[in-house]
């Protein structure tokens, strides 16, 4: 018995990875309207940043909801909105490892801030991923860095309760948790179509709910569901 093409496509999708990663902020699925509005305010300049001691944006929530993706999209979008120009100096990424200390982080930040930015806004952009991995002393050290008007810091965390309160006070907080299952139907349908299988919304919604807002899990779970349906239809096991 030959293996159906829809089955092979499902295997290929799981092997190659997710082709549905957001390319712009408009592609981000927010868990609530307030989070979306806060990002829109920042991007449009309705909420100025850096301003009044706040130069950081904290994206917090469960795994897989697009925090790191959004963090990497924001510098380009903010700079374009502020100046009409593209970034001339890309954002600096600090991927926090467990136990990073203050001197390590602050030494790197200070070395960047000591240079003039080539961006039209004059701003430097930092993405600090999984900031909760920093030691408590390192988090406290960041408070002084956030006092600058020469940079915007974009932080992500899955564990907001583990962050220093003084550091949080210098951030604009954006919750990034799961949206209602219906919000993911369009992307789930697209994933299913790529496998060549027709899946109804009734079939997709339990799988979407099980992903709990994780786009990584959504991609794999829908592809798996489509593959298993192809197996049942074609008798491939």
Averaged confidence pLDDT in the chain: 88
State both tokens at 20. 């549905």
* CATH label, 31-175, candidates 3.40.50.300, 3.40.190.10, 3.40.109.10, 3.30.1490.20: 3.40.50.300
Output the pLDDT for position 235.
Answer: 63
- Distance of alpha carbon 118 from alpha carbon 205, whole angstroms: 47
**Helix/strand/coil (H, E, C) string of 128-149?**
EECHHHCCHHHHHHHHHHCCCC
pTM (2 d.p.) = 0.86
Confidence of residue 53 (pLDDT cuts 50, 70, 90): confident
State both tokens at 117. 């930015």
Domain locations in the chain? 5-21+180-234, 31-175
pLDDT in tens, 1-26: 444 444 445 445 444 445 678 899 99
Question: What DSSP assignment string belongs to 73-137?
Answer: HHHHHHHHHHHSS--SSPPEEEEPPTT--HHHHHHHHHHHHTSPP-STT--EEEEEETGGGS-HH
- Least Cα distance to 229 among 215, 202, 174, 209 occurs for 202
pLDDT in tens, 85-111: 999 999 999 998 877 777 888 899 999
For the CA atoms of 92, 72, 68, 206, the dihedral, rounded to the nearest 10 degrees, stands at -170
* First-residue to last-residue Cα distance in the chain: 11
- Distance of alpha carbon 192 from alpha carbon 187, whole angstroms: 9
pLDDT in tens, 178-234: 999 999 999 999 888 887 888 999 999 999 999 999 998 998 899 889 888 877 776
Output the pLDDT for position 232.
Answer: 76
């Amino acid at each position: 018995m030959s293996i159906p093409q829809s089955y092979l496509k499902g295997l290929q999708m799981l092997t190659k990875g997710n082709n549905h990663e957001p390319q712009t902020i408009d592609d981000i699925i927010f868990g609530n309207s307030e989070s979306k509005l806060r990002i829109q305010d920042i991007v449009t300049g309705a909420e100025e940043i850096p301003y009044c001691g706040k130069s950081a944006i904290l994206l917090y929530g469960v795994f897989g909801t697009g925090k790191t993706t959004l963090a990497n999209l924001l510098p380009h979008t903010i700079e374009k909105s502020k100046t009409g120009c593209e970034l001339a100096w890309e954002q600096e990424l600090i991927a926090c490892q467990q136990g990073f200390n203050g001197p390590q982080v602050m030494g790197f930040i200070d070395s960047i801030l000591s240079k003039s930015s080539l961006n039209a806004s004059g701003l430097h952009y930092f993405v600090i991923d999984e900031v909760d991995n920093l030691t408590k002393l390192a988090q406290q050290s960041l408070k002084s860095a956030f006092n600058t008007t020469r940079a915007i810091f974009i932080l992500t965390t899955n564990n907001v309760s583990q962050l220093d309160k003084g550091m949080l006070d210098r951030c604009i907080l954006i919750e990034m948790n799961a949206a209602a299952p219906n919000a993911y139907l369009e992307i789930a349908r697209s994933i299913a179509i790529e496998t060549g299988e027709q899946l109804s919304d009734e079939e997709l919604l339990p799988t979407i709910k099980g992903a709990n807002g994780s786009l990584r899990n959504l991609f794999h779970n829908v592809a798996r569901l489509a593959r298993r349906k192809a197996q049942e239809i074609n008798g491939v096991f």
